[in-house]
Amino acid sequence: MYNNTLNHEILKLIKEQPEISEKNIARTLSITEDAVKARLADLRDVRDKILIMGNGHNNYHNLRNELEAENYNVVNVSDALLALETVKEERPDIVLLDTASLNADGFEICRQLKANPKCWWIPIMVLSERNKAEDSIKAFKSGADDFISTPFNTLETESQSWNGFET
């Protein structure tokens, strides 16, 4: 069987029978149990991943729900001390960074992410509750790829976020 077909068949069996064992998958597909284990270890979530850094108030909760409904893998972190580590671990496709609701300077976090050789390329969209020109200027000076003020229109944020996937 081709690799993608085999992976598809394994996932299909798991979806149809959530409690199926690796041994039974191997028997059903006429492959070794070690091959099943190796394939399962290699399978991962391939959806575009969006990391939201903020305190999770209603705007972000609604945004998260809408993004997940669009089949995006959404991860949230509200602790600035964990923000940099989370980016390294999660390897998101884009970061939505709320500068006001973290327990640290969001603009500084943006600068640190853009200065880090392991994640400088990840697009960052800064979200701000304050609709002030100086926030927009600070965002771009700190390395942000885009800026949007809240309350934001979820569709606007979504369309601007997707541009980050195309860069």
Q: What is the pLDDT of residues 19-76, one digit of tens each?
A: 899 999 999 999 999 999 888 887 777 788 999 987 656 567 778 888 888 888 899 8
| Tokens linked to 21 | 């064992």
Beta strands in the chain, from DSSP E residues, in sequence order: 49-53, 73-77, 94-98, 124-128, 146-149
Q: Which residue type occupies 110?
A: C
Provide the whole-model pTM: 0.68
- For β-strands 94-98 and 146-149, DSSP reports them as unpaired
Are 50 and 72 contacting, i.e. CB atoms less than 8 angstroms apart? yes
Q: Each residue of 101-127: pLDDT tens digit?
A: 655 678 889 999 999 988 899 999 988
